Structure formats: structure tokens, C-alpha cells
Chains A and B, each alone.
Chain A
Amino acid sequence: MSTLLTHIAVSDGKIKRASLEVLSRMTQLAEANGHSSEAVIIDANASDHVDEVQKYGASKIYAIEDPIFKNHQNTPLLKALSKVLDEADPFVFGFGSTESTKDILGALAANTDAAVLSDVSEFELIDNGIKATRPVMAAKILSTNKATGDNILVSVRSGSYDLNESPTEAEVENVDFNFDKNELEATLREIIGASDDKIDLTEAETIVAAGRGAKDDEGQELVEDLASVLGAALGASRALTEAGIMDPSLQIGQTGKVVSPQLYIAVGISGAIQHVAGMANSKVIVAINKDPDAPIFDIADYGIVGDLYDVLPPFIEELKKIKG
């Protein structure tokens, strides 16, 4: 019996859904193959999150609690992950592919000489490792990959697996961890946060994304109205974040966030492959664009050819009526 270990990422006091998706998958693989599904929570208030993690089938939970983990910093996180990897000796160590994960995954692999596959969309166990699928070439195609070794690290794109509750009574181990702040060479000076009440794009059920076509004040206002009617998170194409019109944390695409909501409404977005790479896994895609040849229509379930200034006002009105 081997250990399948999942890292539970906590950001702003909340567990990242991507981590629970990975834990759900790991628990399923553990049950099917006679392995043990375990989890590690590294946070300033790690023990607060134990109950929620138990719901997804972890039979053992390592908790590493230290004030240093209030904000993401790669040095202490790496030290904690290396320690737990050493102690749990997992066959597979899974991560939700968050920005924090991307910051440390390569370093952790180098540090522990583990094999690593990042940003996979599917993975399964094989005899001496894992088989995984990754989107490549700006997510135009998929590559199939194999990683072999005693410890395999894998990060999984958000939305790749459904949450699956299978509650257990987990054994909780508090891992001793000491971090001397003087060890920090890199110093985190400031976090310029997007405002607190915003919905996390990677976890949003509905996203309204604005592109070049909606760059003026009126367009922005219409997009915000639409998002507010639907209770949706706001997203943007690179054209708008680069122009400073929308916050960089809202960028969706190869460079920005990868999202997979139930409903994605692209407003004034042409659909360059770099943008599509970040949203093509949305369940229902609606595109509103005045250019009938815009590539976004190739992947949209519902395309409206028209000027967003003409289409959005009646669209918002009708949705208001439907939502009652």
C-alpha cells in the first residue's frame, strides 16, 4: 500500500477548490488501487480546515501551522513541503495548479529529486508512476505523458475533476515546524490585492469576460451590469489587462488564469488561441461579437453576431426578468 498525498492550498482563509478536486481524485484512485489517501494543510490556521478536508476522504491529515504561512512565500512553503514529503513518502503528491503551486513545484521536485508533471488535465496510476494528459501548444492539442519514480509530483488544472464527498474519520498529525524569519532572503513587502469581495475566477460558476470590443466606459459598465445580474465573476482578455483597463488578476488565457465555469460569456472578445487556451473547458460558452468571422464563434455554443452596445441592454433586461 502506498500513499497518495494531496496538498491543500489555503488562500485568504479559504481552501482552494482546485485542491479539493485533486483530493477527490486521489481518494477515488486510492480506493480503486488499495492505496491510502492523505492530505497536508500548510497554513497559519491549518487546524481550522481539518473538518472540511475530512469530507473528501483523506484518512490521514498532516497539519503544519505557523504564522509565516499567512501569505504565500516560497522559501517556508518549500521547506514545509519537503519535510512532509520526507515524512509521508508519497508515491504521488498532488497539487491544485494555483499560482502558489506554480511558484514552488519545480523547486520542490529539484529539492527532492522527484519526477514532476505540471498542469495536467487528467492522470491515472501505472505500475511505477503516473500517466497524464496535458494541454500543449497553447492548449490546441493534448500530449500524453508518463512520469516514473518513487515520488511523483503532479499539479492538476482547476476544473479537471468534480468534487466528490466521501467522509472519513481522519487521523490528524500536527507536524513540528520551525521557521526562523532570518532564513528569509526574499522579503515580501506588500500585496496589492484585488478587492476582497471579488469572486475567485478559477472557482466561479459563471464568468462574464470582456475584450477589446468593450474597452470604453459604456462597454465596461454594460459588462459589469451583466455580471451583477448573473452573480458572475468578471474576467478579461489580455488586451484589456495590458491596457490597464481591467485588473491583471482578471486575465484569462495561456498567460493568465485557466477557468472552467458552467457558463462563460465572452463580450467583445475575438478569441485568439491564447485566450481560448484559458477558457475552452467552460461548459456553456456564449459569444457576443460584431465580427461574424471572429474565431470565438468556432467554440461558442451560442453566438450572437451584433454590436455589444445593442445586444447587452436587452440581454441584461431579459435575464433580469428570468431571474425574477
Chain B
Amino acid sequence: MKFYVCIKQVPDVDAPIQIKDGNLIQDTDRMVLNAYDASAVEEALVLTEEHGGEVEVVLVGPDKAKETIRKALAMGADKATHITTDDEVDYDSAVYAKILAAFFEDKEYDVISCGKQSQDTDAGLAGSMLAQHLDLPYATNAVGLSMEDDKLVVKRQGDSGQEIIGLPQPCLVTCSNDMNEPRIPSLKGIMQSKRKPMETINLSDMNLDETALSAKTKVTGYMEKPEREPGQKFEGEPDELAQKVAHLLDEEENVV
């Protein structure tokens, strides 16, 4: 079974951020493997450990994203492809999906997977876009995967419950971080990752036309969220506090 997992390097959302003149100032040293992609890598590893096969990760991003590829290899992925871009690009989900679609055009695979969204932008679009470009059956927001004969069986979280979907291969699936706890690379894994094959393709050598690379959506700036009015914090006798707050909700807020 050949698994491709599309991964992305993202800023750590737990790191402090600042906004200055509409620009986002963040610690560029704190870049991480997107948590949802890490779950996709973990699940691909579990399935290939059980059923045999190979896991290859693909990342579109600047040179410094190599460390994120190493992380996935250290977790246990067999090989990697890095499609390198300039440091400062403002691609949207649609552009990433087109780049990946061009990469997969001549590839053979059983399953392509990725995180259901990036933890920095939460857009959640690139996965189903890629499926559409490649004309693959797909499922998003998977919370569980299993193999059954030639089918990938996906448990996904839908609006009114969990849907169990059988996908013929080849197919594409986007993963929630609720499906597993991604493994922490072992020292051995980290050592081995340095010897694993990593192919580098320069984006400019992929012959994508200008329209494919021009984004229809742009981030024009950043701003702080409107502050909530500071609230009241009560400490003391539980009975009194409970009564007081119950009455505030009724008389001041009219919400009970």
C-alpha cells in the first residue's frame, strides 16, 4: 500500500504573537508540523505497519521547512519530497492544491491523506480541492481509519453524528487530530531520518502556469479581537457564590 501524506509547516499557535501596523509579528523559530498533519502521518504509519506498504510525505514550502519534513521522517515515514518555494509567498489553499495536483499527476498511490486544516489559518479547503483536481473519491474530518479488502473505511464526524464511509482506492482523506496521539520521534528514529531519501523539486521547475500560482484570495492584514469587558471573579463560601451568580444571571443578564 502506498500512502502519500501532504504536510505543512506552520507557526506554533501557542507561541506569543503581536500585531504591529496590521502585520503579524511572530517568533519564526517556533515553526512546527501542523498538528492535524501529524495525526495523518501517525495514522498512515499505523495502517502500513499493520497492512504493509510505504509512507511518503510531501511538503510545499520554503527551505527552512526541511526540519518539519525531518520530523515526519523521524516519526517513521519512509521517504519525502520537498517542493521548494520562495520564503515569502502568499499562496492560498487553492494554489497549494494546484501545486500538489501537478505533483501527483504522474504518481501511483493508494491513499493520499493530509490534516483537515492548518492550525494557523483553519481554512480546511486544500484537501477536498486536491481530491477534486485528481478526481478522487474523498472524505474529510476523519476520526478513524481502517482497511477492509480494497476499501479504506473512514469514520468521519458529520453534522448529526459519525458517518462510516467506504472509499475505493485510490482515494483521499483529511484527518482530524482526534483520531490518535501522534508518536514522539525516538532517538533512533531521529538518527535514521537523516539517512532517509528526500527528493527536492524546485517549484519553478514544475512548469505551472502563472494563473495556477496567482491567488484569488489575499490576507490584507491582521487585527486584535475586540476585547471582552473584564468580568468579575468571586472567591469564598460556595453556597453564597452560587446564589449570587445565579441571581446575577437572572437579574443583570436575563439569560436564565
Contacts and interface: CB of A to CB of B under 8 A. Distances in A.
B13 A302 contact: no
A230 B162 CA distance: 27
B128 interface: yes
Interface stretch (B47-55, B72-80, B234-242): B234-242
A254 B141 CA distance: 13
A315 B126 CA distance: 46
Interface residues of B, number: 81
Interface string A160-200: 00000000000000000000000001111111111000000
Interface string B231-256: 11111001101110111111001011
B158 A141 contact: no
B11 interface: yes
Nearest to B152: A186
B96 to A, nearest CB: 11
Interface centre among B24, B131, B228 (most CB of A within 10 A): B228
B138 A136 contact: no
Interface residues of A, number: 93
A2 interface: no
Interface in B158-185: 158-168, 171, 176-178
Interface in A61-77: 71-72, 74-75
B138 A186 contact: yes
B177 A255 contact: yes
A248 B246 contact: no
Contacts of A238: 178
A110 B97 contact: yes
Contacts of A12: 160
A256 to B, nearest CB: 8
Interface in B132-163: 132-133, 137-141, 143, 153, 156-163
A300 B231 contact: yes
B220 A302 contact: no
B218 interface: yes
B161 A141 contact: no
Contact of B124 (A115, A119, A189, A286): A119
Interface in A262-319: 262-263, 273, 280, 283-286, 292, 297, 299-307, 310-315, 317-319
Contact of A72 (B127, B159, B234, B253): B159
B69 interface: no
Interface centre among A134, A242, A254 (most CB of B within 10 A): A254
B108 interface: no
A311 B236 CA distance: 10
Contacts of B109: none
A100 interface: yes
A107 B132 contact: yes
A141 B226 CA distance: 9
B17 A193 contact: no
A292 B235 contact: yes
A303 B232 contact: yes
B57 to A, nearest CB: 21
